[in-house]
Structure 1
Amino acid sequence: MVKKYSDSLKLKVVKEYQEGSLGVRRLAKKHGIQSKSQVDRWIKLYEKYGVEGLKSKKHNETYSVQLKLDVLKFIERTGSSEMETALHFGLKNTTIISSWKKAFREGGAGALNGSKGWSTMPDTSKNKQNKKGKENEITYQQKLERENELLRLEVEYLKKLRAFQMDPEGYLEKHKQRYHSNSKKHSN
Protein backbone atom coordinates (compact mmCIF):
# COMPACT_ATOMS: atom_id res chain seq x y z
CA MET A 1 0.00 0.00 0.00
CA VAL A 2 1.26 3.47 -0.87
CA LYS A 3 1.71 5.64 2.17
CA LYS A 4 0.57 9.27 1.93
CA TYR A 5 2.69 12.00 3.44
CA SER A 6 1.49 15.47 4.36
CA ASP A 7 2.66 18.47 2.40
CA SER A 8 4.10 19.98 5.58
CA LEU A 9 6.20 16.85 6.26
CA LYS A 10 7.53 16.91 2.70
CA LEU A 11 8.56 20.55 3.08
CA LYS A 12 10.11 19.90 6.51
CA VAL A 13 12.20 17.01 5.13
CA VAL A 14 13.37 19.04 2.12
CA LYS A 15 14.33 21.98 4.34
CA GLU A 16 16.28 19.67 6.66
CA TYR A 17 18.08 18.24 3.66
CA GLN A 18 18.99 21.72 2.43
CA GLU A 19 20.41 22.61 5.84
CA GLY A 20 22.85 19.77 5.25
CA SER A 21 22.66 18.14 8.65
CA LEU A 22 21.39 14.77 7.39
CA GLY A 23 21.56 12.82 4.16
CA VAL A 24 18.61 11.43 2.24
CA ARG A 25 18.75 7.96 3.78
CA ARG A 26 18.92 9.25 7.37
CA LEU A 27 16.12 11.75 6.77
CA ALA A 28 13.90 8.97 5.45
CA LYS A 29 14.62 6.85 8.52
CA LYS A 30 14.17 9.75 10.94
CA HIS A 31 10.73 10.66 9.58
CA GLY A 32 9.49 7.12 8.92
CA ILE A 33 9.48 7.48 5.16
CA GLN A 34 9.39 4.17 3.30
CA SER A 35 12.31 4.83 0.95
CA LYS A 36 15.09 7.28 0.31
CA SER A 37 13.94 7.56 -3.32
CA GLN A 38 10.77 9.23 -2.04
CA VAL A 39 12.89 11.89 -0.32
CA ASP A 40 14.99 12.27 -3.51
CA ARG A 41 11.78 12.83 -5.47
CA TRP A 42 10.59 15.55 -3.08
CA ILE A 43 13.95 17.32 -3.27
CA LYS A 44 13.93 17.35 -7.06
CA LEU A 45 10.31 18.49 -7.22
CA TYR A 46 11.05 21.28 -4.75
CA GLU A 47 14.12 22.38 -6.73
CA LYS A 48 12.10 22.51 -9.95
CA TYR A 49 8.70 23.82 -8.75
CA GLY A 50 9.21 25.17 -5.24
CA VAL A 51 6.57 24.53 -2.59
CA GLU A 52 3.96 23.87 -5.33
CA GLY A 53 5.91 20.79 -6.38
CA LEU A 54 5.39 19.22 -2.98
CA LYS A 55 1.64 19.69 -2.82
CA SER A 56 -0.46 16.56 -3.06
CA LYS A 57 -1.46 15.76 -6.60
CA LYS A 58 -4.94 16.24 -7.97
CA HIS A 59 -6.70 13.01 -8.78
CA ASN A 60 -8.60 14.51 -11.71
CA GLU A 61 -5.56 15.33 -13.83
CA THR A 62 -5.77 13.93 -17.34
CA TYR A 63 -3.15 13.78 -20.04
CA SER A 64 -3.47 13.27 -23.78
CA VAL A 65 -2.59 9.93 -25.32
CA GLN A 66 -0.03 11.74 -27.48
CA LEU A 67 1.74 13.18 -24.43
CA LYS A 68 1.81 9.74 -22.80
CA LEU A 69 3.29 8.21 -25.96
CA ASP A 70 5.86 11.00 -26.22
CA VAL A 71 6.86 10.50 -22.59
CA LEU A 72 7.30 6.75 -23.07
CA LYS A 73 9.25 7.23 -26.31
CA PHE A 74 11.48 9.80 -24.60
CA ILE A 75 12.34 7.28 -21.88
CA GLU A 76 13.08 4.61 -24.46
CA ARG A 77 15.19 6.91 -26.63
CA THR A 78 17.19 8.65 -23.91
CA GLY A 79 17.27 6.05 -21.16
CA SER A 80 16.15 8.72 -18.70
CA SER A 81 14.63 7.74 -15.38
CA GLU A 82 10.95 8.31 -14.72
CA MET A 83 11.88 11.19 -12.42
CA GLU A 84 14.10 12.88 -15.01
CA THR A 85 11.43 12.39 -17.66
CA ALA A 86 8.68 13.81 -15.45
CA LEU A 87 10.78 16.89 -14.76
CA HIS A 88 11.60 17.22 -18.47
CA PHE A 89 7.92 17.17 -19.42
CA GLY A 90 6.77 19.28 -16.48
CA LEU A 91 4.86 16.49 -14.75
CA LYS A 92 4.64 16.87 -10.98
CA ASN A 93 3.13 13.40 -10.57
CA THR A 94 6.24 11.39 -11.34
CA THR A 95 4.84 8.01 -10.39
CA ILE A 96 2.11 8.10 -13.06
CA ILE A 97 4.67 7.25 -15.74
CA SER A 98 5.04 3.71 -14.40
CA SER A 99 1.30 3.16 -14.79
CA TRP A 100 1.52 4.44 -18.40
CA LYS A 101 4.37 2.00 -19.05
CA LYS A 102 2.34 -0.89 -17.69
CA ALA A 103 -0.78 0.07 -19.65
CA PHE A 104 1.20 0.40 -22.87
CA ARG A 105 2.98 -2.91 -22.28
CA GLU A 106 -0.30 -4.71 -21.66
CA GLY A 107 -2.53 -3.07 -24.27
CA GLY A 108 -0.53 -0.87 -26.62
CA ALA A 109 -1.34 2.74 -27.45
CA GLY A 110 -5.07 2.19 -27.09
CA ALA A 111 -4.68 1.30 -23.42
CA LEU A 112 -3.34 4.79 -22.74
CA ASN A 113 -6.65 6.32 -23.76
CA GLY A 114 -8.65 5.21 -20.74
CA SER A 115 -8.91 7.12 -17.52
CA LYS A 116 -6.89 5.77 -14.64
CA GLY A 117 -7.94 5.62 -11.04
CA TRP A 118 -9.41 3.44 -8.37
CA SER A 119 -12.71 1.75 -8.96
CA THR A 120 -15.45 3.01 -6.67
CA MET A 121 -16.97 -0.45 -6.23
CA PRO A 122 -15.21 -3.72 -5.54
CA ASP A 123 -15.63 -6.52 -8.08
CA THR A 124 -17.99 -8.83 -6.28
CA SER A 125 -19.23 -11.91 -8.13
CA LYS A 126 -22.50 -10.10 -8.93
CA ASN A 127 -20.63 -7.14 -10.41
CA LYS A 128 -18.50 -9.50 -12.48
CA GLN A 129 -21.61 -11.18 -13.88
CA ASN A 130 -23.11 -7.78 -14.74
CA LYS A 131 -19.89 -6.76 -16.50
CA LYS A 132 -19.90 -9.97 -18.55
CA GLY A 133 -23.50 -9.33 -19.55
CA LYS A 134 -22.66 -5.78 -20.62
CA GLU A 135 -19.62 -6.95 -22.57
CA ASN A 136 -21.83 -9.34 -24.50
CA GLU A 137 -24.14 -6.44 -25.37
CA ILE A 138 -21.37 -4.70 -27.32
CA THR A 139 -22.40 -4.77 -30.93
CA TYR A 140 -20.28 -5.81 -33.84
CA GLN A 141 -20.27 -2.20 -35.05
CA GLN A 142 -19.00 -0.98 -31.67
CA LYS A 143 -16.20 -3.54 -31.78
CA LEU A 144 -15.23 -2.37 -35.26
CA GLU A 145 -15.34 1.28 -34.18
CA ARG A 146 -13.11 0.48 -31.20
CA GLU A 147 -10.66 -1.41 -33.37
CA ASN A 148 -10.70 1.42 -35.90
CA GLU A 149 -9.90 3.97 -33.19
CA LEU A 150 -7.02 1.85 -31.90
CA LEU A 151 -5.62 1.54 -35.41
CA ARG A 152 -5.91 5.31 -35.90
CA LEU A 153 -3.98 5.86 -32.66
CA GLU A 154 -1.32 3.40 -33.73
CA VAL A 155 -0.92 5.02 -37.17
CA GLU A 156 -0.71 8.47 -35.56
CA TYR A 157 1.92 7.21 -33.15
CA LEU A 158 3.96 5.66 -35.95
CA LYS A 159 3.80 8.90 -37.95
CA LYS A 160 5.08 10.86 -34.95
CA LEU A 161 7.76 8.27 -34.35
CA ARG A 162 8.93 8.48 -37.96
CA ALA A 163 9.01 12.29 -37.81
CA PHE A 164 10.99 12.11 -34.60
CA GLN A 165 13.47 9.57 -35.99
CA MET A 166 14.08 11.68 -39.10
CA ASP A 167 14.78 14.89 -37.15
CA PRO A 168 14.87 14.42 -33.35
CA GLU A 169 16.04 17.93 -32.52
CA GLY A 170 13.52 19.60 -34.81
CA TYR A 171 10.70 17.42 -33.52
CA LEU A 172 11.48 18.13 -29.87
CA GLU A 173 11.81 21.85 -30.52
CA LYS A 174 8.50 21.90 -32.43
CA HIS A 175 6.64 20.13 -29.64
CA LYS A 176 8.43 21.67 -26.67
CA GLN A 177 6.04 24.63 -26.45
CA ARG A 178 2.99 22.35 -26.39
CA TYR A 179 4.35 20.34 -23.44
CA HIS A 180 5.02 23.44 -21.43
CA SER A 181 1.54 24.83 -22.08
CA ASN A 182 0.00 21.43 -21.19
CA SER A 183 1.93 21.23 -17.93
CA LYS A 184 0.79 24.73 -16.96
CA LYS A 185 -2.83 23.72 -17.54
CA HIS A 186 -2.40 20.61 -15.36
CA SER A 187 -0.67 22.43 -12.52
CA ASN A 188 -3.50 24.97 -12.05
Structure 2
Amino acid sequence: MSRKGHTAEFKRTVLDAYENLGYSLSEIQRKYGVHNTTLVHWMKMVEKYGVEGLKGTSHNKTYTKEMKLVAISDYLSGNYSQRDVIEKHGISSTSVLRKWMKDYNGHREIKGQPEGMSRSMTKGRKTTWQKRIEIVQDALANHKDYHKTAVANQVSYQQVYQWVRKYEAGGWDALKDRRGRSKTEEELSPEEKMKLEIRRMEKENERLRAENAFLKKLEEIERGRS
Protein backbone atom coordinates (compact mmCIF):
# COMPACT_ATOMS: atom_id res chain seq x y z
CA MET A 1 0.00 0.00 0.00
CA SER A 2 1.38 3.40 -0.95
CA ARG A 3 1.75 6.12 1.62
CA LYS A 4 -1.06 8.05 -0.11
CA GLY A 5 -3.32 5.08 0.67
CA HIS A 6 -2.66 5.24 4.40
CA THR A 7 -6.04 6.23 5.75
CA ALA A 8 -6.63 7.18 9.38
CA GLU A 9 -8.36 3.82 9.87
CA PHE A 10 -5.36 1.95 8.45
CA LYS A 11 -2.99 3.88 10.73
CA ARG A 12 -5.13 3.05 13.78
CA THR A 13 -5.07 -0.61 12.78
CA VAL A 14 -1.29 -0.63 12.52
CA LEU A 15 -0.85 1.23 15.80
CA ASP A 16 -3.22 -1.20 17.51
CA ALA A 17 -1.24 -4.15 16.17
CA TYR A 18 1.97 -2.68 17.55
CA GLU A 19 0.69 -1.35 20.88
CA ASN A 20 -1.93 -3.94 21.83
CA LEU A 21 -1.48 -7.09 19.77
CA GLY A 22 2.25 -7.55 20.38
CA TYR A 23 3.51 -7.19 16.81
CA SER A 24 7.20 -6.39 16.55
CA LEU A 25 8.52 -3.65 14.28
CA SER A 26 9.73 -6.20 11.74
CA GLU A 27 6.34 -7.93 11.76
CA ILE A 28 4.61 -4.59 11.24
CA GLN A 29 6.81 -3.89 8.25
CA ARG A 30 6.26 -7.34 6.72
CA LYS A 31 2.50 -7.39 7.19
CA TYR A 32 1.57 -3.76 6.60
CA GLY A 33 4.54 -2.38 4.68
CA VAL A 34 5.05 0.36 7.26
CA HIS A 35 8.62 1.32 8.21
CA ASN A 36 9.43 1.81 11.88
CA THR A 37 10.18 5.53 11.38
CA THR A 38 6.72 5.98 9.89
CA LEU A 39 5.15 4.12 12.80
CA VAL A 40 6.97 6.27 15.36
CA HIS A 41 5.87 9.38 13.45
CA TRP A 42 2.24 8.29 13.67
CA MET A 43 2.64 7.71 17.39
CA LYS A 44 4.07 11.19 17.82
CA MET A 45 1.21 12.70 15.84
CA VAL A 46 -1.30 10.93 18.09
CA GLU A 47 0.63 12.14 21.15
CA LYS A 48 0.56 15.70 19.84
CA TYR A 49 -2.88 15.94 18.22
CA GLY A 50 -4.83 12.92 19.45
CA VAL A 51 -6.47 10.60 16.93
CA GLU A 52 -7.11 13.64 14.71
CA GLY A 53 -3.37 13.63 14.09
CA LEU A 54 -3.83 10.51 11.97
CA LYS A 55 -6.05 12.38 9.54
CA GLY A 56 -3.24 13.86 7.51
CA THR A 57 -5.25 16.11 5.24
CA SER A 58 -7.19 17.63 8.12
CA HIS A 59 -4.23 19.84 9.02
CA ASN A 60 -3.90 21.40 5.55
CA LYS A 61 -6.44 24.08 6.48
CA THR A 62 -4.06 25.54 9.04
CA TYR A 63 -0.96 25.79 6.83
CA THR A 64 -0.15 29.44 6.30
CA LYS A 65 2.12 30.69 3.55
CA GLU A 66 4.49 31.91 6.24
CA MET A 67 4.63 28.51 7.91
CA LYS A 68 5.29 26.76 4.58
CA LEU A 69 8.20 29.06 3.83
CA VAL A 70 9.72 28.47 7.26
CA ALA A 71 9.44 24.69 6.78
CA ILE A 72 11.00 24.92 3.32
CA SER A 73 13.82 27.06 4.71
CA ASP A 74 14.49 24.53 7.47
CA TYR A 75 14.78 21.69 4.98
CA LEU A 76 17.00 23.69 2.61
CA SER A 77 19.34 24.51 5.51
CA GLY A 78 20.53 20.90 5.42
CA ASN A 79 20.14 20.58 9.19
CA TYR A 80 16.89 18.63 9.09
CA SER A 81 15.56 15.60 7.26
CA GLN A 82 12.08 15.68 5.76
CA ARG A 83 10.84 13.67 8.73
CA ASP A 84 12.45 16.15 11.13
CA VAL A 85 10.76 19.08 9.40
CA ILE A 86 7.25 17.62 9.39
CA GLU A 87 7.50 16.67 13.06
CA LYS A 88 8.95 20.05 13.98
CA HIS A 89 6.17 21.98 12.26
CA GLY A 90 3.28 19.54 12.66
CA ILE A 91 2.97 18.81 8.93
CA SER A 92 0.81 15.80 8.12
CA SER A 93 3.27 13.92 5.89
CA THR A 94 6.53 14.15 3.97
CA SER A 95 4.53 14.10 0.72
CA VAL A 96 2.97 17.44 1.73
CA LEU A 97 6.42 18.92 2.33
CA ARG A 98 7.71 17.51 -0.97
CA LYS A 99 4.85 19.21 -2.80
CA TRP A 100 5.78 22.54 -1.24
CA MET A 101 9.40 21.95 -2.23
CA LYS A 102 8.34 21.16 -5.79
CA ASP A 103 6.36 24.40 -5.98
CA TYR A 104 9.24 26.35 -4.47
CA ASN A 105 11.87 24.87 -6.79
CA GLY A 106 9.55 25.40 -9.75
CA HIS A 107 9.28 29.09 -8.82
CA ARG A 108 5.54 28.75 -8.31
CA GLU A 109 3.80 30.92 -5.75
CA ILE A 110 3.52 29.40 -2.29
CA LYS A 111 -0.05 29.88 -1.15
CA GLY A 112 -1.84 28.93 2.01
CA GLN A 113 -3.27 31.71 4.20
CA PRO A 114 -6.51 30.38 5.68
CA GLU A 115 -9.55 32.58 6.10
CA GLY A 116 -10.33 34.10 9.46
CA MET A 117 -6.75 34.93 10.47
CA SER A 118 -6.20 38.39 11.88
CA ARG A 119 -3.63 40.75 10.42
CA SER A 120 -1.45 40.32 13.51
CA MET A 121 -1.23 36.59 12.79
CA THR A 122 -0.01 37.12 9.24
CA LYS A 123 2.01 40.34 9.58
CA GLY A 124 3.08 40.09 13.21
CA ARG A 125 2.52 42.61 16.01
CA LYS A 126 4.52 44.53 18.57
CA THR A 127 5.07 42.79 21.89
CA THR A 128 6.84 43.46 25.18
CA TRP A 129 9.79 41.45 26.40
CA GLN A 130 7.60 39.85 29.06
CA LYS A 131 5.02 38.85 26.46
CA ARG A 132 7.69 37.32 24.22
CA ILE A 133 8.95 35.26 27.14
CA GLU A 134 5.43 34.02 27.86
CA ILE A 135 4.90 33.12 24.21
CA VAL A 136 8.16 31.16 24.05
CA GLN A 137 7.16 29.32 27.22
CA ASP A 138 3.83 28.45 25.61
CA ALA A 139 5.57 27.20 22.47
CA LEU A 140 7.94 24.98 24.46
CA ALA A 141 5.09 23.62 26.57
CA ASN A 142 3.23 22.78 23.34
CA HIS A 143 6.18 20.81 21.94
CA LYS A 144 7.06 23.74 19.65
CA ASP A 145 3.67 23.79 17.98
CA TYR A 146 4.33 27.21 16.46
CA HIS A 147 0.97 27.53 14.73
CA LYS A 148 -1.04 26.71 17.83
CA THR A 149 1.03 29.18 19.85
CA ALA A 150 0.68 31.89 17.21
CA VAL A 151 -3.10 31.49 17.10
CA ALA A 152 -3.42 31.50 20.89
CA ASN A 153 -1.34 34.67 21.25
CA GLN A 154 -2.44 36.50 18.07
CA VAL A 155 1.07 36.82 16.67
CA SER A 156 2.61 35.46 13.48
CA TYR A 157 4.06 32.00 13.00
CA GLN A 158 7.38 33.54 12.00
CA GLN A 159 7.54 35.60 15.20
CA VAL A 160 7.02 32.55 17.41
CA TYR A 161 9.55 30.54 15.43
CA GLN A 162 12.22 33.25 15.60
CA TRP A 163 11.66 33.96 19.30
CA VAL A 164 12.10 30.30 20.18
CA ARG A 165 15.30 30.14 18.13
CA LYS A 166 16.63 33.30 19.79
CA TYR A 167 15.83 31.95 23.24
CA GLU A 168 17.57 28.65 22.53
CA ALA A 169 20.65 30.48 21.25
CA GLY A 170 20.91 33.22 23.86
CA GLY A 171 18.42 32.77 26.67
CA TRP A 172 15.72 35.23 27.75
CA ASP A 173 17.91 38.29 27.19
CA ALA A 174 18.03 37.46 23.49
CA LEU A 175 14.31 38.27 23.31
CA LYS A 176 14.86 41.91 24.23
CA ASP A 177 14.03 44.38 21.46
CA ARG A 178 17.17 46.46 20.90
CA ARG A 179 15.72 48.60 18.11
CA GLY A 180 15.87 52.14 19.41
CA ARG A 181 14.59 51.36 22.87
CA SER A 182 16.38 52.01 26.13
CA LYS A 183 17.17 49.02 28.26
CA THR A 184 15.02 50.32 31.12
CA GLU A 185 11.86 49.99 29.05
CA GLU A 186 12.49 46.27 28.73
CA GLU A 187 13.46 45.62 32.34
CA LEU A 188 11.16 43.69 34.64
CA SER A 189 10.62 44.19 38.34
CA PRO A 190 11.81 41.43 40.72
CA GLU A 191 8.19 40.39 41.25
CA GLU A 192 7.57 40.13 37.50
CA LYS A 193 10.75 38.12 37.05
CA MET A 194 9.69 35.75 39.81
CA LYS A 195 6.27 35.27 38.23
CA LEU A 196 7.88 34.53 34.86
CA GLU A 197 10.30 32.05 36.41
CA ILE A 198 7.46 30.23 38.16
CA ARG A 199 5.51 30.14 34.92
CA ARG A 200 8.57 28.87 33.05
CA MET A 201 9.05 26.07 35.56
CA GLU A 202 5.37 25.11 35.34
CA LYS A 203 5.51 24.97 31.54
CA GLU A 204 8.76 23.00 31.61
CA ASN A 205 7.27 20.50 34.05
CA GLU A 206 4.23 20.09 31.79
CA ARG A 207 6.50 19.43 28.81
CA LEU A 208 8.66 16.94 30.71
CA ARG A 209 5.60 15.06 32.01
CA ALA A 210 4.28 14.71 28.47
CA GLU A 211 7.64 13.52 27.13
CA ASN A 212 8.13 11.06 29.99
CA ALA A 213 4.65 9.64 29.48
CA PHE A 214 5.39 9.08 25.80
CA LEU A 215 8.77 7.44 26.47
CA LYS A 216 7.30 5.28 29.24
CA LYS A 217 4.64 4.06 26.84
CA LEU A 218 7.28 3.04 24.31
CA GLU A 219 9.36 1.29 26.97
CA GLU A 220 6.36 -0.65 28.25
CA ILE A 221 5.55 -1.83 24.75
CA GLU A 222 9.12 -3.00 24.13
CA ARG A 223 9.41 -4.69 27.55
CA GLY A 224 6.25 -6.61 26.85
CA ARG A 225 7.91 -8.21 23.85
CA SER A 226 11.22 -9.11 25.44
Q: Normalization by structure 1: what TM-score? A: 0.50
